[in-house]
Structure 1
Amino acid sequence: MRDLKKAPKPALYLGLSGLVPFVAAPLLMAATELYLPDVAFAQVAYGASIVSFLGGVRWGFALPAGSPAKPDWLNLANSVVPSLIAWMALLFYRDITQSALLVIIGLGIALHYDLSLLPTYPSWFKALRTILTFVAFLSLVGTVVIKQCYPEKKLTNK
């Protein structure tokens, strides 16, 4: 984690600011003592977009000439898996617990791939990814717990 100090400032600040949608949702619901399904879904949809983004990062890493990750079937297929998991998470939009669980699984698979299967990523990137994934995981778990603890209030009339 000490290698986080080596992170380029834009990567560090943009990465950390990317946690705002994850953290804001459970904080808002905890502060109001209400489970807000629209807010919870917005958090999960954001998480799904991040999971897809992480697959794209891997695809982009494999494409440049000279990259240690070759654009072979394994690397490119593993780059597509996060997008498929994110898509499945959005299919379960009526059950936020299942959606959040799929996003958590997608984040976990992406982190595992980044830490163990692509050892050539810079150490600062691995440290940053670990922190970002851990906070996103806790935030999604927080939303699932809040769903069980607080009364539901819909923001829209459907």
Structure 2
Amino acid sequence: MPVPPEYYHATEQFNQFMVDARDASNLETTNMAWNMVVGVFQAFRRRLTIGDALCFANFLPPGIRAVFVADWDANEKRVAFGSDEELLKEIKSVRQQHNFSPSNARSAVAIALRRNVDVQALERLLRDISDQAFEFWKVSEQELRNAETNRSLKIQLKDF
């Protein structure tokens, strides 16, 4: 069997996801979006059983999957889904001094995810996990329409 195409194109697909997260959050760079993405994935992961988290991870494209499972403490106590304010506080707690997560961090990452996966399959999976899991990743049609797109990937290079 040949190597699946999603592995050949993992870097390109991951870069597109990060650009989508940057754009949906209206941040300037993908570096600024990084801690937001990590925070959202960690906040979601803490609310799942290990089995549900692995089902979600297996659904994700390889690069995004790597972020979702990175630094995972499988013995960490599972927590309940809380209010939007509690979730945002948790998202912003990831590397606080370098975390630029805006108030729409969760929906920004949800928009980026939806732009890079089969949305119907994502929604089926989330509904199978729980109503709260589905709500965590829910995005309104207006949010999807309003999210900025088509900005180029900014790569900052140093002259040596």
TM-score by length of 1: 0.33
TM-score of the two chains, using structure 2 as the length reference: 0.33
The structure whose Rg is larger is: 1
